[in-house]
Structures are given as structure tokens and as C-alpha cells.
Structure 1
């Protein structure tokens, strides 16, 4: 199983709007091939930093799969105005938790 870890830096004054925007675009992620679940977690000490952790069946399901899709383009289009800098994304391999 592959975990995508996305570090999402959000403008402090746009945190509430970001949560609403994420809820609107989340179905685009959820219907992706190989998607197994996700959690969006907000930082405690730094509430403007969100972590999106997505479980994928394989790395290929995320990249190039979802990342190359129209759904991904729309997903990012719905969120990009909330970011104060470019998100960082990396992958890890591990057991299901």
C-alpha cells in the first residue's frame, strides 16, 4: 500500500474557506482508480498547515493515474487560491493503519 503525503500551506485568513473548498472537491479524489481513503489533518501548533494523507493501491494509481487526470486538474483548481505557497507531495510505503 502507498501513502501520498501532501503538505498544504494555507493562507491564515483563508483556513475556513479552504475546509469548505476541500469538501467540495473531495469527491473528485474519492472516485479515482486505486483510491483507498484519505484524512485531511490540520496542524495544532500551525493551523495554517494541513496534511493530506491518501491511501492508494499503487504508486501508479496516484502518479501518473490521478495526477494526469481531468479530475486532478479540477481538484487543484478548486484549492489553489487557498495556498500561500506550492504544496509538497511525497510517497511512503507501508501497512494499512
Structure 2
């Protein structure tokens, strides 16, 4: 594995640090969530869902279901910050 490549879910090495910067991460739910998010299956399902939802939006636009004077588009983003070794890190206040 390339040093700059994030570790995937199957990688059982201790990434040391976790969200708090030290200690065992074996039973940390946040670390488990990040490992799941990095899994190839998760990426594949995400891409499928994006394609399905994009098709629905296209269909709704074409059918006029989104036509109104107050139409707006929103975006929600949930993210986790990790370093080059897939260790969780905090985002400093004001960095976003």
C-alpha cells in the first residue's frame, strides 16, 4: 500500500490516535464508521445511489415537478477528516 493511500476497511492495523489523538481504536464507533465509509462496497453503493437520485431529479425537472418561483437547491455534506494514514483528526475551529 502506498503511504499516501487511505487504509480500507479490511486493514486491521491500529491507526493510533483515533479521534482523541491517542489510545486503542479497536472499539471506537467513530473509527468503525470511518472504516465503513472507506470500504469499496460503500463507495459502490454511494455511486449507485447518486445515479438513482440524479435520474429522479432529471425526471422531476423534465416533468415540471420542480417548477415554482421559490425553487432552490440545497446540499448537505457530512465529512470526517483523516490524515494520510486514515487516522481521524479534528478540524480546527474556523478552518471550514
Relative contact order (alpha carbons < 8 A, sep ≥ 6): 1 or 2 greater?
A: 1
Q: If the TM-score is normalised by the length of the shorter chain, which range does it land in?
A: under 0.3
Q: Tell me which protein shows more strand as a share of its residues.
A: 1
Structure-1-length-normalised TM-score: 0.26
Rg larger for: 2
